[in-house]
Amino acid sequence: MLRNGLGNLLQQSTRLLRGGPVQTTTPLPDKLFKSIELEMRGHDPAVLRSYTTFLKTVCGHLNIPQGRLQVLPYVRWIQYALRSKFVHKKYKLHYETRTHITKFEVKELTGSTASTFLEYIQRNIPEGVAMRVGYEELRPLPNTIVDHSKKETAAQ
């Protein structure tokens, strides 16, 4: 089994040295993003403010244009539970959580810059903060639409 593996490896390496068929790949154009919207959710508003400051600093160092910063009202979740295992409705507990939401937008990014930016900020996200990423990607028009519009302009 080892002998077969080494034999196959030798055959492949000699094929490469002889100049076998070389596959060339054409580089794909980099993606363009009109805007990337980051939505952060957490239970502590001070942590969200601190993380927003961190995002502004990162944008400043990477020369990324910032969009709007939006602090949305918190979402309240309330649950009542009975204190005793038997029904005594006047002894209730009140559980409440507040989820604070902040939206941060960056504009006009290339795909490589966006992936670097997102990887860096997601590695440094604080504990207890959730993030949702939404984006608007710029793409060329399909060929059918471009051809149709050329025909219309030529006819006029």
Which residues are bridge partners to 93 per DSSP?
A: 81
Q: How far is CA 61 from CA 53, 92, 124, in A?
A: 13, 52, 15
* CATH code that applies to domain 29-74+100-139: 3.30.70.600
Q: What are the residue boundaries of the structural domains of the chain, listed by start?
A: 29-74+100-139
Q: State the pTM of this model.
A: 0.71
Residue 7 has pLDDT above 80, yes or no: no
Q: Which pLDDT tens digit goes with each residue over 118-133? A: 999 999 999 999 999 9
CA dist 146 and 151 (Å) reads: 9
pLDDT band (50, 70, 90) for residue 4: low
